[in-house]
Amino acid sequence: MANFQRRQFLGLSAAVLGLGAAAPVRIFANATAGSGGVDPEAISRFIQAASSRHEMHSLVIRRHGAQVVAGWWAPYRAGAVQSLYSLSKSFTSTAVGFAVTEKRLKVTDRVIDFFPDERPKQISDHLAALRIQDLLTMSVGHAVDSTPVITRQDDWTSAFLALPIEHAPGSVFLYNSGATYMLSAILQKVCGVSLIDYLRPRLLVPLGIADARWAVCPRGIDTGGWGLSISTESIASFGQFYLQQGQWGGRQLLPKRWIEEATSFKIQQPGGPPPNPDLAQLKQVSDWHQGYAYQFWRCRHDAYRGDGAFGQFCIVLPRQDAVIAMTSMTPDMQGLLNLVWEHLLPGMSDGAIPDSAGAARLSGEVDSLTLPVPKGAADSAYAARLSGKHFDLEQNDLGLRSVSLRFDGQSSVFELHAQDSAHSVTFGVGQWRDGVTTMPGVPPEFSELIGRTSPLPLPIKVAAAGAWTDENTFVMQWRYYETPHHDTVTCRFDADRVRIEFVNNITAISGGAHPEIRPALSGRLASQ
């Protein structure tokens, strides 16, 4: 995969997953589409186009201080947190803004001055020149992203400072999630608390973001560049906070001058690799070539955004007085942004749009949003014959000994047994069923970049559905709805044998570039 295309696939991020739970934050007056200054037909066209080309999980639009539309594609739902991936970076930048405002640090401070015990014995001129502002603008000077290197170590800070800096800091843009981690490490050094704990009284509590969670590195420092989980409505509130220039509830939480500094053009991204190296051409079509600010991307149409891998978006449109928050699972983040510009942007009128039948149709459409369940039959001759019976598994790397499926109307159970434990997933046949699981290897992880971080809390929330695709094959989809991810689990039966195959959606959308690491399981019907 070409380097620029690869960066787009990664969402320009390194990431971990995080879970939690949050109630919806409804602090704005609700407006029907139309009365909120957004054409309901435009929203409907966007939903239809986005649903047909991308896997959408949620959409929240606010305009003129009103929530115009809020929808979730089942089994995703309001109030559930979502892994933000690199959208986390914009929250880290905001924490730096608070620290600067409180005079705890300056963006011109040297990075090595915060780490007298972690810095290398030999300090290069470029390392000595590295400033906080270079971390904020992704212009450290590294030749490659530091993240895959440092996250394989126990001490990420020392590993980062030991890396060679090939270019003068501030001179070259290179997306570098390790740089954001260093901002988190600096904040913890200066403030004496973790990044998320520093943000709670200053940003999260005022905005009503109650159940935020951030993954940590092996030394207990919030990962900064990824790992934050909050709800979609909280994402929209964060965007509204920026749209309101740091004001919230009649209070100026963060100075307007910092908001302007943090979201204005700071450095230009380079042109892409062949066949699209021309920067001027890329600027016409790419929202990854409009310039970078302090952990925010500049966009076309004088907008800016925070974003995360696989399509987690907080888009702020000052000209339109609007915020768009979206979560999804797409390998084509630019394609999803293109649909925003194609459909939603023209639908934002300068004046109120009268309510129409379109608003009522849109309301019904939003209420019925759902992701498709596996297609197939609800029953098979195998279902009654094998329901509740155990298959002894051949030796496998997961240490699993047996498997069983119990078909029980619309709420059934898939269960794997190890020596001293059992791991189950409840699934519906032809419909989603909620549950929790301790199944090994879930949810999928972006293992190329994730490194070692705090484990996800168990059990993991999951919604699952299955169907018989033929007489011998039962296919399930397990959706970990507090992340963008899901597994497809295929059970193939042949007489008294079964073969179970796992494919996570990262493997599926990458064309195998990120292979599934769980082995296929084979077993034979146990003696009764």
Phi then psi dihedrals of residue 460, to 5 deg:
-90, 135
* Together in a domain, 478 and 512: yes
pLDDT score recorded for residue 263: 98
Phi then psi dihedrals of residue 205, to 5 deg:
-65, -50
Q: What burial class does residue 177 get, using C-beta atoms within 10 Å of its C-beta: 0-12 exposed, 13-18 middle, 19+ buried?
A: buried
pTM given for the model: 0.92
pLDDT score recorded for residue 514: 85
Q: Which CATH number is 390's domain given?
A: 2.40.128.20
Q: What burial class does residue 319 get, using C-beta atoms within 10 Å of its C-beta: 0-12 exposed, 13-18 middle, 19+ buried?
A: exposed
Q: In terms of Cα–Cα distance, which of 81, 95, 80, 75 is closest to 18?
A: 81
Helix (H) or strand (E) segment spanning residue 232: helix 232-243
State the total domains in the chain.
Answer: 2
Residues of the chain short of pLDDT 50, as ranges, are: 1-28, 447-448
Question: Does 389 fall in a domain?
Answer: yes
Cβ-Cβ contacts under 8 Å for 105 (sequence gap 6 or more): 96, 99, 132, 186, 190
How many residues are listed for the chain in this entry? 528
Instruction: Give one word for 117, left, alpha or beta, with left for phi > 0 and alpha for psi -120 to 50.
Output: alpha
Question: Does 372 fall in a domain?
Answer: no
SS3 287: coil
pLDDT score recorded for residue 527: 83
* Together in a domain, 218 and 77: yes
* Together in a domain, 353 and 424: no
Question: Does 375 fall in a domain?
Answer: no
Q: In terms of Cα–Cα distance, which of 406, 401, 432, 396 is closest to 518?
A: 396
pLDDT score recorded for residue 450: 58
Instruction: Give one word for 192, left, alpha or beta, with left for phi > 0 and alpha for psi -120 to 50.
Output: left
Helix (H) or strand (E) segment spanning residue 256: helix 256-263
* Together in a domain, 406 and 507: yes
Q: Which amino acid is present at 135?
A: L
- The 10s digit of each residue's pLDDT in 205-215 is 999 999 899 99
Q: Structural domain of residue 500, as residue ranges? A: 381-525
Contact 91, 228 (CB under 8 A): yes
- The 10s digit of each residue's pLDDT in 325-347 is 999 999 999 999 999 999 999 99
* Together in a domain, 106 and 11: yes
* Together in a domain, 343 and 492: no
* Together in a domain, 480 and 424: yes
* Together in a domain, 29 and 80: yes
